[in-house]
């Protein structure tokens, strides 16, 4: 992978930025077309999950997170749902746009990137509830919240890298989508979404601690709820992994574009 190659890919993406905006707009309209709640679904699902896990971890098996549990859970679920939604739509982003992929030239990575940005809009809408919960519990991150754009950028890069690989893999092997559905259902419990994974001991706990998404979700809670900067070591490692993942995935995706039409 050469720096010049990445620079060309980024330049091409900038040239087609208006197409990316149009794709995001189209996907948002299609996703919520003929739904009663519309964008309300972006708020409803994290709220329902928060209520369920609050019942479990406040009544059945109480745990101490150092924060009001509904606030802790909703913040984690909002971050997780952004990634899960991005990947769920990203994995089929090429196969659901066959006519565009085969007939018109433009950077094909626009499709998985559009899925990520659509999910980011959903997350922004869902964050309104998070702001309400923060006001209700009197929790505010203070000046540390200025680091939020950095955390979001790292999260977006990490998610976009995986979305590129999944979209390309599903184009070549159609059972990737079904495998993804299984993995994403389990992966949430291997991440600090609804409970601190550091509470898991032994070898399993050490393995779970290596998940870079833990550092990203903990960084959200740090800057938004605890008023501190993200833990420098884990977050820096997650940032480096995210940048490398995006660069490698983008290059692999670009080199595989010539074979896309044959497998569509």
Q: Which residue in this structure is represented by tokens 């990575």?
A: 109
| pLDDT tens-digit series, residues 222-233 | 999 999 999 999
Per-residue pLDDT band at 2 (split at 50, 70, 90): low
- pLDDT confidence of residue 257: 75
Counting the structural domains of the chain, the total is 1
Note down the domain range covering 62.
3-263
The one-character DSSP state at 140 is -
Distance CA 229, CA 129 (A): 23
Distance CA 193, CA 217 (A): 7
Q: Do 73 and 53 touch, CB atoms closer than 8 A?
A: yes
Dihedral (CA of 227, 231, 236, 241) sign: negative
| pLDDT tens-digit series, residues 5-63 | 778 888 888 888 888 899 999 888 887 776 666 677 778 888 888 889 998 888 888 88
Q: Exposure pattern of 176-205 as b/e (b: 16+ CB <10 Å)?
A: beeebeeebeebbebbbbbbbbeebeeeee
- pLDDT confidence of residue 29: 83
Higher pLDDT, 130 or 62: 130
Q: Is the pLDDT of residue 114 over 90?
A: yes
pTM greater than 0.85 (yes/no) = yes
Per-residue pLDDT band at 264 (split at 50, 70, 90): low
């Amino acid at each position: 992978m050469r720096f010049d190659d990445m620079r060309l890919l980024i330049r091409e993406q900038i040239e087609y930025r208006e197409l990316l905006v149009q794709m995001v707009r189209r996907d948002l309209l299609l996703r919520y077309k003929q739904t009663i709640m519309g964008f309300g679904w972006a708020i409803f699902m994290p709220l329902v999950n928060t209520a369920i896990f609050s019942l479990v971890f406040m009544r059945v098996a109480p745990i101490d997170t150092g924060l009001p549990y509904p606030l802790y859970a909703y913040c984690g679920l909002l971050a997780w749902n952004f990634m899960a939604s991005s990947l769920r739509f990203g994995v089929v982003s090429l196969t659901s746009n066959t006519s565009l992929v085969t007939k018109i030239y433009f950077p094909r990575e626009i499709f998985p990137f559009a899925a990520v940005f659509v999910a980011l809009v959903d997350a922004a809408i869902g964050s309104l509830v998070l702001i309400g919960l923060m006001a209700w519990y009197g929790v505010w991150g203070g000046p540390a919240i200025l680091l939020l754009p950095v955390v979001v950028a790292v999260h977006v890069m990490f998610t976009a890298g995986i979305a590129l690989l999944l979209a390309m893999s599903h184009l070549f092997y159609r059972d990737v989508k079904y495998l993804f559905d299984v993995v994403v259902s389990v992966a949430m419990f291997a991440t600090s979404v609804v409970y601190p994974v550091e509470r898991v001991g032994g070898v399993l706990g050490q393995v779970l601690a290596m998940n870079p998404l833990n550092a990203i979700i903990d960084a959200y809670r740090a800057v938004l709820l605890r008023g501190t900067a993200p833990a420098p070591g884990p977050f820096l490692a997650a940032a480096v992994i995210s940048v490398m993942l995006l660069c490698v995935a983008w290059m692999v995706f670009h080199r595989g574009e010539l074979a896309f039409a044959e497998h569509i």
